[in-house]
């Protein structure tokens, strides 16, 4: 297993879903954590879970939003919101972190999506934001390689989180979405938060010391499937 003892990790979007799972995974591997998120109550719950997993309490970001619309129904204000949260925030935070990462020769792991690798319908703006995030990951990996800063991304397939509910689907619609998605993944099921978190931990650790500029699908083979 990766060893993150003595490492300091900033995890965005740690108040829920993949961000929370990653925080708990890092805590169990010995990392000191700086957690950020938009929902204070949930963020505190994550911090408590991290303490239980092993991180020191005195040391206690994967932010993203979805938007379901096609070209003709896209509202430009929502377009701007998605791009700001899913892309602009990553660029701004990366700029701020580079001086610190240079001193420590640290690593960045961006959380993208299978939607950044494969085209899909009724998910235009979200898919665009994730494709741009993948390109950002590749470009910055080259720019920062001379500083020995590694930059990679993970591209999860369908993983049950709150993102579909936040995008406006009700419980029944989310259930139907997940059932349909099973047939689109080669392994015949949707993923789990822990499976993504473990991949992020690997890419952030010294075990991945010769990997940079990569997009790693954690998608049960969906990226290799023919469109249906």
Q: Which entry of 67, 79, 122, 126 is annotated as an active-site residue?
A: 126
The helix/strand/coil state of 115 is helix
Residues 6+ apart with CB under 8 A from 86: 63, 64, 65, 126, 129, 130, 133
pLDDT in tens, 23-50: 999 999 988 888 888 788 888 888 889 8
Interatomic CA distance for residues 210 and 189, integer angstroms: 31
Instruction: For the chain, 228 residues long, give each residue's pLDDT as a single digit of tens.
Output: 788 888 889 998 888 889 999 999 999 998 888 888 878 888 888 888 988 888 766 544 766 677 788 899 999 999 999 999 899 999 999 999 999 999 999 999 999 999 999 988 888 999 999 999 999 999 999 999 999 999 999 999 998 877 777 777 888 888 888 898 899 999 999 999 999 999 999 999 999 999 999 999 999 999 998 765
Query: Six-digit token pair at 52?
Result: 């239980």
Beta bridge partners of 32: 8
Active site includes 79? no
* pTM of the predicted structure, to 2 decimals: 0.86
């Amino acid at each position: 297993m990766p060893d993150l003892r003595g490492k300091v990790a900033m995890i965005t979007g740690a108040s829920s879903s993949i961000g929370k799972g990653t925080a708990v995974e890092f805590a169990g591997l010995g990392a000191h954590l700086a957690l950020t998120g938009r929902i204070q109550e949930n963020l505190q719950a994550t911090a408590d879970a991290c303490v239980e997993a092993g991180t020191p309490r005195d040391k206690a970001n994967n932010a993203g939003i979805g938007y379901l619309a096609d070209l003709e129904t896209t509202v430009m204000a929502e377009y701007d919101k998605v791009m700001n949260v899913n892309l602009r925030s990553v660029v701004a935070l990366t700029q701020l972190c580079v001086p610190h990462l240079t001193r420590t020769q640290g690593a960045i792991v961006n959380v993208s999506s299978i939607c950044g690798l494969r085209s899909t319908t009724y998910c235009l703006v979200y898919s665009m934001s994730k494709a741009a995030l993948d390109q950002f990951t590749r470009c910055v990996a080259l720019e920062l390689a001379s500083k020995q800063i590694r930059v990679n991304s993970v591209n999860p397939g369908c993983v049950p989180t709150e993102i579909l509910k936040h995008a406006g689907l009700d419980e029944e619609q989310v259930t139907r979405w997940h059932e349909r998605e099973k047939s689109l993944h080669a392994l015949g099921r949707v993923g789990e938060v822990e499976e993504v978190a473990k991949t992020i931990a690997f890419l952030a650790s010294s075990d991945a010391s010769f990997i940079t500029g990569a997009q790693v699908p954690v998608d049960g083979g969906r990226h290799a499937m023919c469109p249906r």
